[in-house]
Amino acid sequence: MNNLMLTWKNLLHRPLNLLLNVLLFALGVGLISLLIQVNTQLKEQFDRNQAEIDMVIGAKGSPLQMILCNMYHIDNPTGNIGVGEAKPFLNPKHPYLKTNIPLSLGDSYSQFRIVGTLPGILDLYAASIETGEMWKDAFDVVIGKAVAETAGLKVGSEFDSSHGFNDDDGMTHEHDTKFKVVGILEATGSVIDQLILTSPNTIWEVHEHDHSAEKMDNILTAEQLMQYEDKEITSILVQFKSRKSIPALNMPRAINSNTDMMAASPVYEINRLYSMIGIGVETLRYLALILIIVSALSIFISLFNSLKERKYELAVMRVLGSGRTRLFSLILMEGLLIAIIGTILGLAIAHIGMYFVANGMEGSYKYSFSGLRFFKEEAYLALGALAIGILAAVIPAIKAAKTNIHETLNG
C-alpha cells in the first residue's frame, strides 16, 4: 500500500478529529480568502471610478458623502448649489481647471440614477457610444450598458422617471414628454455603465413641470449652462491642469472658507474611508489567523496523541522494513493532507460566499462583483496554509521516526 492510501486510511480511522481539523482550517482560510476578494474588487471599483478627478464641488455637508454620491453613486446628495455661485468653476476658460463636469441628481429609473450633465462626462470614463447617438434634445438620454441589459432598454425605448433613487411607484413623475433612449454606451467596467445620462435642463424641466415652466434650450456646453444663474446643480467634477500648482492645491480650502459651497478631494476621502473600514477588516483577518493557528494546534495534538495508539503499528512497520524516513513522511503527509483538504474547502466556501455577497452588493450598489475570480494573494494564502499544516505535523513526525522497535514490542 502506498503512502498516500495509508495516510488516508489513518485519517479516516479518526473521522471526528479529521472533521474538526478540516473545518477549523477551512473556516480560517475561507474567511481570509473572502476578505481578499471583497477588498480587492472593492478597491478596483474605487480606483476605476476615480477617473482622475481631483476635486468635487457641491453643497456643504459630509465630504465623504458627497464623494460617494457624485463619483461612485452609492449615497445621497448633500444638497444643491446655485449655478450663479458655481459659475467661476464651470468656466471652461478657468486658468487652473482642465475639466469641470456638472452633475444634476435626484431622479432614477428602475433604481438606475438619471444624471443631468454635459457630453464631456464620457471623456472622464473613456466611454463611447456603441449604438445610437449623443442626446440632442431635452428628455433624450444615453444609457450605460448595464442599464440597457438590466432594465431591458434599447434605442427608442421610452420611460418615466421616479423621484429619488428607489424604485417606488408612488414617486413616479408623470411627464408630458417621456424620457427617450437615443444612445447606448459601450461597456467600460466603470460606474458610467450604471447611469442614465441626459442634459441638465431635462432635470430642471422634470422638477419644474408642475409649475408650467417654459421649456429651455437644450444645454450641451458649459457656456450654455452658465447662462442659467438662477438654476441649481448638484455638483461639479473637477480635474486640475496641474496637481502641483499652489493655486490648485489651495483651491479646496478657499472654496470651503469663502463660499457656501464645499470642495472635497476624492483621494483623501477614499483613503479616510479605507482607514475607517480597515479596523474591521483587520479584526476579521486576525480572527481568521487565530482560527488557522488553533487548527494547526488541533492537528498537532491529534497527530501527537494518535502516536500512542499507533506505536505498535509503527513498530511493526519498522520490523517489516519501513525506514525512519517513511514513518516521518507518513505523519507529515497526514498534516499536509488535512491542510490540503481544509484549504480547498475553505477556498470553495469563500468563492461560493462571494457569489452571494456579489449579488447583494450588485443589488445595493449596482457594481459588478464576481465569485469566479482568483487572486494571486489567494495563491500565497494557500501556500502559507499548506506550510502551517506541515509545521503542525513536524514534531509528531519526528517522534514517529524515532520509534524504538524493541521498547515498543517488549513493553
pLDDT tens digits for range 165-200? 665 555 555 666 789 999 999 999 889 999 999 999
As a whole-number percent, the residues of the chain with pLDDT over 70 amount to 80
pLDDT-derived band at 365, boundaries 50, 70, 90: low
In sequence order, what are the beta bridge partners of 263? 57
Non-local (6+) Cβ contacts of 227 within 8 A are none
Split into its structural domains, the chain has a count of 2
Pairing of strands 196-198, 140-143: antiparallel
Looking at the structure, do residues 234 and 89 belong to the same domain, yes or no? yes
What is the rounded distance in angstroms from the CA atom of residue 357 to the CA atom of residue 371?
8
Q: Which position has the higher pLDDT, 81 or 38? A: 81
Highest-confidence range of 87-91, 395-399, 400-404, by mean pLDDT?
A: 87-91
Short-list 22, 23, 20, 45, CA closest to 361:
45
Contact 99, 239 (CB under 8 A): yes
The least confident of 42-56, 63-77, 224-238, 387-401 is 387-401
Q: Residue 216: pLDDT above 50?
A: yes
Cell of residue 164, nine digits:
429619488
Highest-confidence range of 111-115, 328-332, 398-402, by mean pLDDT?
A: 111-115
Cell of residue 386, nine digits:
499548506
Looking at the structure, do residues 248 and 291 belong to the same domain, yes or no? no
Looking at the structure, do residues 62 and 198 belong to the same domain, yes or no? yes
Residue type, 388: I
The answer to whether residue 376 is domain-embedded is yes
Looking at the structure, do residues 70 and 155 belong to the same domain, yes or no? yes
Query: Which residue segment(s) compose the domain that 252 sits in?
Result: 55-264
Residues 297-307, mean pLDDT to the nearest whole number: 73
Last residue of a domain, one of 199, 232, 264: 264
pLDDT tens-digit readout, 98-135? 999 999 998 889 889 999 999 999 999 999 999 999 99
The answer to whether residue 399 is domain-embedded is yes
Looking at the structure, do residues 90 and 220 belong to the same domain, yes or no? yes
The answer to whether residue 272 is domain-embedded is no
Last residue of a domain, one of 201, 235, 264: 264
Task: Kindly state the helix (H) or strand (E) to which residue 294 belongs, with its residue range.
Answer: helix 266-319
pLDDT value of residue 238 = 95
Looking at the structure, do residues 286 and 325 belong to the same domain, yes or no? yes
The answer to whether residue 358 is domain-embedded is yes
The answer to whether residue 377 is domain-embedded is yes
The least confident of 62-71, 187-196, 307-316, 362-371 is 307-316
Looking at the structure, do residues 231 and 343 belong to the same domain, yes or no? no
Contact 18, 338 (CB under 8 A): yes
Looking at the structure, do residues 294 and 340 belong to the same domain, yes or no? yes
Looking at the structure, do residues 155 and 196 belong to the same domain, yes or no? yes
Looking at the structure, do residues 42 and 59 belong to the same domain, yes or no? no
pLDDT-derived band at 161, boundaries 50, 70, 90: confident
Looking at the structure, do residues 314 and 340 belong to the same domain, yes or no? yes
The answer to whether residue 273 is domain-embedded is no
Looking at the structure, do residues 174 and 240 belong to the same domain, yes or no? yes
The answer to whether residue 269 is domain-embedded is no
The answer to whether residue 271 is domain-embedded is no
